[in-house]
Chain A
Amino acid sequence: MNVLSDNFAMFREGFLGTVELTALSALLALVLGTLIAAFRVSPVPALRVFGTAWVTLLRNTPLVLLFLVATLGLPALGLKGWDSFWLAVMALGCYTSAFVCEAIRSGINTVPVGQAEAARSIGMTFSQTLGQIVLPQATRTAIPPIGSLMIALAKNTAIASGFNVTELGSVQKTLNADAGYDIYVIFAWIAVCYIIITFAISGLFRLLENRLAVAR
């Protein structure tokens, strides 16, 4: 039972590594996903094509392959000096952005057309319609799916352990190789760490949902 107390520093480092990786990739995924969603609903065909291609390609690529592209491909293309942590953030962020984009886009699509038509007929401009009518409603529908995407992202960060990033997965791998401990006990503690992280994320999103909830 002393796996945790013996290796507390290691667990702490792994836990913080996972949290940091999740937070930074989530930030990248949300920013990029919103941008690509804007492309996909824009009236400009070239941008729409780009958005569709981005989403189709990234949704149908295994994340491990994206990690390979980031860790082997980008340095080969002259992106020197990035450490494996930031390359992992790139891979996770880009992968998740495709899913975030679709969540936002279907959020926008659930807003009834009549809402925007009513807004325009009382003389609201494009930015007023977007900012006060469409986006507030779209955000509310998009938040629960984005919450589950962020939980999936937190679980996907484990893949970074295969690419020289210190996080919970790599802690498990190191301790498993160290023959002195019961492998199931190691797993149990790692599981507890992940459950703390995913509970925190789902709690955060439930809070957001409740704060933004409006009777419709």
Chain B
Amino acid sequence: MSASVLYDVPGPKARVRNRIYGALSTVALLGLLAFIVYKLDDTGQFQAELWDDYEYSNTHERILDGLLTTLKTFAIAAVLSVALGAVLAAARLSDHRPVRWLATAVVEFFRAMPLLIMIFLLFAAVFTSDPMWALVIGLTLYNGSVQAEIFRSGINAVSKGQGEAAYALGLRKTQVMTSVLIPQAVRSMLPSIISQLVVTLKDTSLGFIILYEELLFVGRAFAQQTEPVNGVYAFIPMVIVFGSIYILLCLALSSLATWVERRTKRSRKGAPPAMPVNNAALASEAGQIG
């Protein structure tokens, strides 16, 4: 806090004032929390019968099934999207103009389309009986295009002299790419790649809307079949349980990204982890939205 742009190191008067604000805001936040808990209790969300189902091993199996379906979808989509990203990035960096244009058009189009609209199209026209592949291919096309931009900017971020020096030594185009540019670029782009994978993981839940039986779908089916207790449906327990699973999964993956970022910053060799595009550094700090 010592080097903040917004204020100096507080003096005695400001310290007292900050302490008063601190106390007031703590009280207000605790009050808010208490109100939420009161409201949950008041509307009968803590009735034991609503939570009983979560003790059965049958329930655990169904949750596990949903979780595995989500993870399987994520794994396939992650591998395919990184592969597609690599291909598209290579095409965008190509020396042949038609290849470059085609790749640019593909990347720009799929990045501009809402993912769900793509999935609706695939589900209605191609994979009518197989929501999983509609979801996986949709995720691959969208995230692959985003990954392509990450790869491209990572490779462009390697200082120009590196490539020029390699050409001067007589390396061929492919050699320059694989043995000079890519090894240096991977360091700087790894955190962004992982952040985009978090987005992919979160977006697997779009399968819910096309009735694919992933984690969230299992959750809702579960809440709907639980008998209402005194007129209260089991939605809130479901949201709490399944929400925590999602948040834990995504947090684990995001913290991997943060850890990698810190490691790459620590090293003295190699390209700096900052991204090249003007505001990309900001964007990576702000996390990817979708």
Taking Cβ atoms with an 8 Å cutoff, the residues of A that contact B are: 41, 43-47, 50, 56-57, 59-65, 68-69, 72-73, 76-78, 96, 99, 102-103, 106-113, 115-116, 120, 126, 129-130, 134, 141-142, 144-145, 148-149, 152-153, 155-159, 161-162, 168-169, 172-173, 176, 183-184, 187, 190-191, 194-195, 198
Contacts and interface: CB of A to CB of B under 8 A. Distances in A.
Given A61-B247, A77-B39, A194-B112, 18 more contacts: A43-B10, A62-B205, A62-B246, A63-B202, A65-B239, A65-B242, A68-B216, A72-B233, A73-B235, A96-B289, A99-B287, A99-B289, A102-B287, A115-B5, A145-B286, A161-B116, A162-B209, A184-B125
Contacts of B45: 76-77
Interface in B94-131: 112-117, 120-121, 124-125
Contacts of A76: 43, 45, 232-233, 235-236
Given A76-B236, A155-B290, A41 B246 contact: no
A208 to B, nearest CB: 14
B209 A194 contact: no
Contact of B250 (A60, A106, A109, A195): A60
Nearest to A73: B239
B34 interface: no
Given A69-B243, A152-B290, A168-B117, A176 B124 contact: yes
Contacts of B6: 41, 108, 116, 129-130, 134
A120 B205 CA distance: 50
Nearest to B30: A46
A152 B203 CA distance: 13
B265 to A, nearest CB: 16
B72 interface: no
B270 interface: no
Interface in B160-201: 198
Given A77-B236, A194-B112, A126 B7 contact: yes
Contact of A72 (B25, B239, B247): B239
A149 B290 CA distance: 9
B116 A169 contact: yes
A110 B25 contact: no
A202 to B, nearest CB: 10
Contacts of B283: 145, 148
Interface of B: 1, 3-8, 10, 14, 18, 21-22, 25-26, 29, 39-40, 42-43, 45, 112-117, 120-121, 124-125, 198, 202-206, 208-209, 216, 220, 223, 232-233, 235-236, 239, 242-243, 246-247, 250-251, 254, 278-279, 282-283, 285-287, 289-290
A22 to B, nearest CB: 11
A68 B221 CA distance: 12
Given A116-B6, A194-B112, A64 B216 contact: yes
B29 A43 contact: no
A156 B114 contact: yes
Given A73-B235, A73-B239, A144-B278, A102 B8 contact: no
A159 B202 CA distance: 13
B279 A141 contact: yes
A54 B8 CA distance: 26
A148 B286 CA distance: 11
A64 B45 CA distance: 22
